[in-house]
Amino acid sequence: MSETEPEPPSEQPGTDAPSTTTAGETDEQIREEWRQYDFAGQAKIAVEDLDVSYGDDHALQGVSMDIPEESVTALIGPSGCGKSTFLRCLNRMNDRIKAAEIDGSVRFDGEEIYQDRVDLVELRTRVGMVFQAPNPFPKSIRENITYGPRKHGDIDTGLLARLTGRNDEQAAEDLVERSLKQAALWDEVDDRLDDNALGLSGGQQQRLCIARCLAVDPEVILMDEPASALDPIATAKIEDLIEKLAEDYTVVVVTHNMQQAARISDQTAVFLTGGQLVEYDDTDKIFENPESQRVEDYVTGKFG
């Protein structure tokens, strides 16, 4: 390195490391670097030393990362790298798998979610999830939206409610409209809210699932391959929606589609085999000049 080498820009992690290549750097050093990854704003979710194993199988090893609020964080990596496992740890969906052993810390707004007194229903309300295949209830579009709030007691238009003078019908209508508008679906369905949701196209069903998730007023939205079952037009609509949602929500997206991660996310975390988080940085940094040679090889498709 000659003396004319300029200081690397301050947003780059590991200013003492060469800005050029990671050849010679160990994974341990790289992990130390991305721990220092600094973003503007508040960490909504702070994960530290997260280990997950299914029996002898290590799905995640020592993963630490802070997820900034009101932004899109993409999780990418080959199949079996642990990115979906990681996503499911963020609202304790892995609790449902008996064989899963989970160790480490996940703090949500500073509160540890892996402790006994956490109310899982409340947690999953605040940290909502949208899955790969659209899974609307086989009910009307309207009922798909009101199901969650009704369940949580936020709205109630049943007989008991009417007898006790608690008739929230208008509130429910407002919620349906607001949620569908937020999910960019309102204009396509406002004249058929009582139709069965299963009659919608795949892309519309997925946006309905997003609307359903928004109806319970979450703060974080986890998405596991939300567009992989959709055609390019429907995918584009979901991608637009994700960017829009990030103005008010913290969005974490698992995707196999690297171009999609590049298009929609603010920061990208790359998981590689063995359940390791190898690099986590601003998305443009990951796709223009990754620190790690393994990440470089992965994003350029040099190994597969």
Partner 1 sequence: MTMARESYREDLATLRADVLDLGADVVAQLDRGLDALEAGDEDLAETVVANDEAINERYLALESECIDLFALQQPVASDLRFIAASFKILTDLERVGDLATNFGHYTRATGESHLDTVDVRAIGAETVDLLEAALDAYEREDTALCRRIAERDDEVDALCRTASERVVRDLIGAEGASDAWDAEAVMDDVSRALLTIRDLERVGDHAVNVAARTLYMADNDDALLY
Nearer to partner 1, 75 or 262 (CB): 262
What is the rounded radius of gyration, in angstroms, for the C-alpha atoms of the chain? 21
Nearer to partner 1, 269 or 299 (CB): 299
Q: Does residue 164 belong to the site contacting partner 1 (CB under 8 A)? A: no
Nearer to partner 1, 282 or 296 (CB): 296
- DSSP characters over 203-224: HHHHHHHHHHHHHT--SEEEEE
Q: In this structure, are residues 218 and 122 in contact, taking their beta carbons and an 8 Å threshold?
A: no
Q: Which of 258, 264, 270, 278 binds partner 1 (CB under 8 A)?
A: 258
Convert residues 16-35 into a mask of x (bound to partner 1 by CB under 8 A) and - (unbound): ---xxx--------------
- Compute the least distance from the CB of residue 304 to partner 1, in Å: 3
Nearer to partner 1, 245 or 258 (CB): 258
- DSSP characters over 65-76: EEEESSSEEEEE
Binding part of the chain for partner 1, among 2-10, 113-121, 152-160, 179-187 by CB under 8 A, reads: 2-10
Nearer to partner 1, 6 or 110 (CB): 6
The interface with partner 1 within residues 261-280 (CB under 8 A) comprises 262
Q: Describe the strand order of the beta sheet including 111-112 as a list of residue ranges.
A: 57-68, 43-54, 100-108, 111-112
Question: DSSP code of 292?
Answer: -
Helix (H, G, I), strand (E, B) or coil at 155: coil
Q: Does residue 79 belong to the site contacting partner 1 (CB under 8 A)? A: no
Q: Does residue 287 belong to the site contacting partner 1 (CB under 8 A)? A: yes
Q: Does residue 11 belong to the site contacting partner 1 (CB under 8 A)? A: no
Q: In this structure, are residues 45 and 220 in contact, taking their beta carbons and an 8 Å threshold?
A: yes
Q: Does residue 140 belong to the site contacting partner 1 (CB under 8 A)? A: no
List the one residue out of 18, 59, 15, 63 whose CA is nearest residue 38: 15
Question: DSSP code of 226?
Answer: T
Q: Which of 24, 55, 153, 301 binds partner 1 (CB under 8 A)?
A: 301
Separation of alpha carbons 252 and 202, rounded Å: 21
The type of residue at 259 is Q
- What residues line the site for partner 1 (CB under 8 A)? 2, 4-6, 19-21, 258-259, 262, 287-290, 295-297, 299-304
